Amino acid sequence: MTPAIAQRPRDAAGTRLITQTAAGRVRNVVSMTRRNLVHISREPMQLSDVTIQPVLFTVLFIYLFGGAIPIPGGGSYTDFILAGLLALNLVTSTMGTAVGLATDLHEGIIERFRVLPMWRPAVLVGRSLADLLTSCLCALVVAVTGLAVGWRTSAGPLAIIAGFALVLFFAYSLSWVAACAGLTSKSPESAASFGFIVLFPLAFVSNALVPTQHMPGWLQAIADWNPVSAVTAGARQLWHNPNPSASIDAWPMQHPIEASLAWSVLILAVAAPLASRFFRRRTTE
Amino acid sequence: MADTMIEADGLVKRYGETRALAGVGFSVPAGSVLGLLGPNGAGKTTAVRILTTLALPDAGQARVAGIDVLTHPAAVRRQIGVAAQDATLDGLLTGRQNLALVGELSGMRAGQARIRAAELLELFELADAADRVVKGYSGGMRRRLDLAASLLTRPPVLFLDEPTTGLDPVSRQRVWEVIRELIGSGVTVLLTTQYLDEADALADRIVVVNHGQVIADGTPRELKERSRSAHVEVTLAEAGPEAVEVIAPLVRGRVSVSADGLHLGAAVDSAPGLATALIRALDQAGLLVDNIEVRQPSLDDVFFALTDAHLPGDDNGSAAARTSAAQHERVRA
């Protein structure tokens, strides 16, 4: 009898009730988050959309469109665009959540998770937290690139941090929508299409890259009520950067911080329970 | 601890038009090993999926460690270890990270999980590969790691779904040894297999399933006795065409003769003095016998006798069963 393999049935239950407690659940979430971060470290190209893409977008937009787009109310395009680029990059990178979950459902590992006495939502929460951490990295890359090409802010450190937090919180809530997409798609490839069908239009039909004043009336109405516009305008306001949307009458443009917080909370309140329902449905047979 | 650790009663499961289980029931007493034996598609894996909380039955009852699988799946998961047919591992983590993750998710402390992982990696001879990414593991290594994952929390009930399918003989032997050690430690095991020798070697009782139904249930010995027929093989020193007529009255059915006429084979009813009677008859006919062997039925014989007798009405099923029986005959010949 090899001691290592010895089974002690009676003490098994006692040590394993931990996943029922809050602390046990937190530990499950930490384990799952770490697992997803290890995945990223194994395939660093997965990170390209939060490292290379932001640099590329920042340089492209500022040098390509910088001179061509006048800002109503004045100000430099570089100062105007940075919040927009942050929103664009963070919104589109939530695609990673959709693809990651769809991949998990496709691999044998999900069967293992399903027979473990774990807190199952940890699969979703761990995914969203790992993606939030990569979003933070993305935000850092955007900020450093922006500073390198001449972005400046006169806001205090707290306001600067609040601006980043506002956009990150929105991206986090959006990652739960992406989770729903990943949990309902048949394959990782079809989960990726969520990015092109939903995320890119969402990011582009907004005030993120161009002032909405130049848009046709119907499109401007959509853009002004687009949550991405509220988030971007909120960051611009906090950073004392040019914010042409401030002169628009729509409520979210007059109260961009409140509006973006409200959007984020609303999206999270709808998408998170929905995602956990989709997860249950996908893992029931 | 409950006396009966695994109970299935009247399990029915349909996948669309396919009826995977049509009322399967069995029970496994604490500390024993049940071999669930059947061909591909017989319903073995479906039964395991229900008992391990992965699938819900359309009808029937299931209890594991005395806990109702349908009403308390989370409590059941605390009592079971599962090694599935397709290794359920994370290809991007190392072997060590996989085991540590399983331990932590099961509620072990990180340090405790790491120690246990190292123990099991050693035991399954994976220590050298422990820090390599599982994607690069061979089939046998994945199986062993999956088995290790199922043992991590020392669960009292183990489900091993075809633990050696696709393994080379050496890995297979290693897995058998591990399972034997587990059995000795008082854990209750449900093992599914297509291999009769595996069930014979490891299981205390065997339940034979086919087409989603239990067609036999007993100890390996009982099942062998159920099919009373044995097999005799005679090797002659010189070919003699009359040999077939000489032994025909003593055997059942047709006598098969090898091309060179030296080897004769036939089914016989086990009876005292059978070999003596055969040799005497051949001797009286002036034939010299080099060798005679009366072989008791193997589980293979039992299995094919059973599955043949339970052909369903539809032609496809019976044709398939006949084909597999025919193939089996060829292999043995």
Residue B193 has pLDDT above 50, yes or no: yes
- The CA distance from B169 to the nearest CA of chain A, in Å, is 22
pLDDT of B167 reads: 80
Q: Is B301 exposed, middle or buried (0-12, 13-18, 19+ CB in 10 A)?
A: buried
Mean pLDDT computed over A45-53: 84
Residue A9, in any domain of the structure: no
- Largest alpha-carbon pair distance within chain B? 79
Q: Does B105 touch chain A (CB under 8 A)?
A: yes
**Across-strand partners of B94?**
B133
CB–CB of B153 and A16 under 8 A? Answer: yes
- Tell me, yes or no, whether B289 and B191 share the same domain: no
Residue B312, in any domain of the structure: no
Domain termination residue (choose one: B183, B201, B224): B224
- Tell me, yes or no, whether B252 and B285 share the same domain: yes
Alpha-carbon distance of B324 to B308, in angstroms, equals: 10
Q: From the candidates B67, B105, B145, B175, which should be mutated to test the interface with A, based on the most A CB atoms within 10 A? A: B105
Task: Between A263 and B309, name the one with better pLDDT.
Answer: A263
- Tell me, yes or no, whether B216 and B255 share the same domain: no
Q: For chain B, positions 106-165, list CB contacts with chain A under 8 A.
A: 106-108, 119-120, 122-123, 133, 149, 151, 153-156
Mean pLDDT computed over B88-104: 94
Tally Cβ neighbours within 10 Å of residue B270: 12
Give per-residue pLDDT as tens, A110-151: 999 999 999 999 999 999 999 999 999 999 999 999 999 889
CATH code where residue B177 lies: 3.40.50.300
Name chain A contacts of B187, Cβ cutoff 8 Å.
7, 9
- The CA distance from A114 to the nearest CA of chain B, in Å, is 7
Task: Between B271 and A161, name the one with better pLDDT.
Answer: A161
pLDDT of B329 reads: 37
Q: Does A225 touch chain B (CB under 8 A)?
A: no
Alpha-carbon distance of B179 to B289, in angstroms, equals: 43
pLDDT of B2 reads: 64
Q: Does A41 touch chain B (CB under 8 A)?
A: no
pLDDT of A73 reads: 84
Residue B325 has pLDDT above 60, yes or no: no
Which of A17-21, B2-6, B48-52, B143-147 has the weakest average pLDDT?
Answer: A17-21
Q: Which of B119, B133, B181 sits opposite A42 (nearest CB)?
A: B133
- Tell me, yes or no, whether B136 and B65 share the same domain: yes
Q: Does A117 touch chain B (CB under 8 A)?
A: yes
- The CA distance from B179 to the nearest CA of chain A, in Å, is 10
pLDDT of B307 reads: 66
E-strand stretches of chain B: 4-15, 18-29, 33-37, 59-64, 67-68, 80-83, 157-161, 188-193, 205-210, 213-218, 229-236, 252-257, 263-269, 289-295
State the pLDDT confidence band at B308, using cuts at 50, 70 and 90. low
Residue B290, in any domain of the structure: yes
What share of chain B in percent tops pLDDT 70? 87
Q: Which of B91, B102, B123 sits opposite A107 (nearest CB)?
A: B91
Residue B305 has pLDDT above 80, yes or no: no
pLDDT of A62 reads: 87
Residue A220, in any domain of the structure: yes
Q: How many CB pairs under 8 A join A and B?
A: 126
CB–CB of A6 and B153 under 8 A? Answer: no
Number of domains observed in the structure of chain B: 2
- Tell me, yes or no, whether B115 and B248 share the same domain: no
Q: Does A282 touch chain B (CB under 8 A)?
A: no
CATH code where residue B278 lies: 3.30.70.980
Q: Are A234 and A243 in contact (CB under 8 A)?
A: no
pLDDT of A8 reads: 42
Residue A3, in any domain of the structure: no
Q: Encode chain A in three state secondary structure.
A: CCHHHCCCHHHHHHHCHHHHCHHHHHHHHHHHHHHHHHHHHHCHHHHHHHHHHHHHHHHHHHHHHCCCCCCCCCCCHHHHHHHHHHHHHHHHHCHHHHHHHHHHHHCCHHHHHHHCCCCCCHHHHHHHHHHHHHHHHHHHHHHHHHHHCCCCCCCCHHHHHHHHHHHHHHHHHHHHHHHHHHHHCCCHHHHHHHHHHHHHHHHHCCCCCCCHHHCCHHHHHHHHHCHHHHHHHHHHHHCCCCCHHHHCCCHHHHCHHHHHHHHHHHHHHHHHHHHHHHHHHHCCC
Residue B304, in any domain of the structure: no
pTM (2 d.p.): 0.81
pLDDT of B65 reads: 94
Residue A8, in any domain of the structure: no
Give per-residue pLDDT as tens, B122-157: 988 899 999 999 999 988 888 889 999 999 999 999
Q: Does B97 touch chain A (CB under 8 A)?
A: yes
Q: Does B204 touch chain A (CB under 8 A)?
A: no
Number of domains observed in the structure of chain A: 1
pLDDT of B328 reads: 37
Domain holding A249, by residue range, is: 27-282
Residue A187, in any domain of the structure: yes
Residue A16, in any domain of the structure: no
Residue B232, in any domain of the structure: yes
Q: Are B298 and B267 in contact (CB under 8 A)?
A: no
Domain termination residue (choose one: B201, B224, B247): B224
Q: Does A39 touch chain B (CB under 8 A)?
A: yes
State the pLDDT confidence band at A19, using cuts at 50, 70 and 90. low
Mean pLDDT computed over B72-89: 90
Domain holding B141, by residue range, is: 4-224
CB–CB of B78 and A8 under 8 A? Answer: no
Q: Are A56 and B144 in contact (CB under 8 A)?
A: no
Of the candidates B238, B231, B288, the one whose C-alpha atom is nearest the C-alpha of residue B260 is B238
**What average pLDDT does chain B have?**
84
- Tell me, yes or no, whether B177 and B276 share the same domain: no
Residue B319, in any domain of the structure: no
Task: Between B299 and B134, name the one with better pLDDT.
Answer: B134
CB–CB of A8 and B80 under 8 A? Answer: no
Q: Does B82 touch chain A (CB under 8 A)?
A: yes
**Across-strand partners of B269?**
B229
Residue B323, in any domain of the structure: no
pLDDT of B250 reads: 85
What share of chain B in percent tops pLDDT 90? 47
pLDDT of A20 reads: 66
- Tell me, yes or no, whether B211 and B245 share the same domain: no
Q: Are A132 and A168 in contact (CB under 8 A)?
A: yes
Residue A1, in any domain of the structure: no
Alpha-carbon distance of A120 to B54, in angstroms, equals: 13
CB–CB of A112 and B88 under 8 A? Answer: yes
- Tell me, yes or no, whether B137 and B192 share the same domain: yes
The identity of residue A162, as a single letter, is A
pLDDT of A21 reads: 84
Q: Which of B77, B89, B151 sits opposite A115 (nearest CB)?
A: B77
Where does residue B34 fall: left (phi above 0), alpha (psi -120 to 50 degrees), or beta otherwise? beta
Cα-based distances in Å from A190 to A98, A105, A185, A203, B294: 9, 13, 6, 20, 62
Residue B332, in any domain of the structure: no
Q: Does A113 touch chain B (CB under 8 A)?
A: yes
Mean pLDDT computed over A77-84: 93
User: Helix, strand, or coil here: B159?
Assistant: strand
- Tell me, yes or no, whether B260 and B179 share the same domain: no
**What average pLDDT does chain A have?**
89
State the pLDDT confidence band at B229, using cuts at 50, 70 and 90. low
Alpha-carbon distance of B53 to B36, in angstroms, equals: 18
Residue B172, in any domain of the structure: yes
- Tell me, yes or no, whether B130 and B213 share the same domain: yes
- Tell me, yes or no, whether B256 and B143 share the same domain: no
Q: Which of B101, B120, B156 sits opposite A12 (nearest CB)?
A: B156
Task: Between A23 and B182, name the one with better pLDDT.
Answer: A23
- Tell me, yes or no, whether B241 and B219 share the same domain: no
Which of A57-71, B20-34, B194-208 has the weakest average pLDDT?
Answer: A57-71
State the pLDDT confidence band at B46, using cuts at 50, 70 and 90. very high
Q: From the candidates B1, B92, B175, which should be mutated to test the interface with A, based on the most A CB atoms within 10 A? A: B92
What share of chain A in percent tops pLDDT 70? 93
Q: Encoding tokens for residue A196?
A: 């092109």
Residue A200 has pLDDT above 80, yes or no: yes
Residue B321 has pLDDT above 80, yes or no: no
